[in-house]
Structures are given as structure tokens and as C-alpha cells.
């Protein structure tokens, strides 16, 4: 990797995350009660992931996706229904 070649001090900047943090297995959350729109399957998986991240050692995470995939809806669900 070019970054490590030019900046070898960054090689272990994150440590060995894979051995210390369990990977969240994808699953679907239940449709949040009171939400006026129905979430699509990938949105329910994203909501499940956000909920699991909140309960993990980092107490959160970063959800990034393609533009136009209703990220705003997911963030609103995340803030209200986590």
C-alpha cells in the first residue's frame, strides 16, 4: 500500500481491529412503530447495524452509502429509534 510505504508509522495506527471487535452479522430490524414510511429491506439492515454499533465498544459508527438511498430517513430512524 502506497500510504504505508511513504508513512510506515501509520501501519498499525488502528491496531488489530479484526481480532478485538466482533463483526456485526447482517440482519433486518423490525419496522419502527410510528414511522409513517415503510423502510426498504436494505434500510432495515442499516437500522439493525446502527443499533448494534450503538451497543458496541465504540457506541456508534459511520454509515455511508450511495447518494439517493434515503440516508436522511435512516438517520432520523437512528436518532429516534435506537
Give the CA-trace dihedral at 38, 43, 46, 48, to 10 degrees. 30
Rank 28-32, 67-71, 74-78 by mean pLDDT and report only the highest: 28-32
Per-residue pLDDT, averaged over 39-49, amounts to: 89
Asked which of 33-42, 43-52, 66-75 is least confident by mean pLDDT, the reply is: 66-75
Neighbour count for residue 81 (Cβ, 10 Å): 16
Angle at 81 between CA 77 and CA 82, to 5 degrees: 105
Q: Say if residue 26's pLDDT is above 80.
A: yes
CA distance 67 to 60: 21
pLDDT, position 76: 63
What is the CA angle 33-53-70, rounded to 5? 55
Amino acid at each position: 500500500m502506497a500510504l504505508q510505504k511513504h508513512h510506515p508509522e501509520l501501519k498499525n495506527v488502528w491496531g488489530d481491529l479484526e481480532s478485538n471487535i466482533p463483526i456485526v452479522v447482517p440482519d433486518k430490524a423490525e419496522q419502527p412503530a410510528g414511522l409513517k414510511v415503510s423502510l426498504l429491506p436494505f434500510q432495515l439492515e442499516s437500522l439493525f447495524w446502527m443499533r448494534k454499533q450503538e451497543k458496541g465498544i465504540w457506541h456508534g459508527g459511520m454509515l455511508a452509502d450511495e447518494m439517493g438511498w434515503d440516508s436522511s430517513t435512516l438517520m432520523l430512524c437512528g436518532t429516534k429509534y435506537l
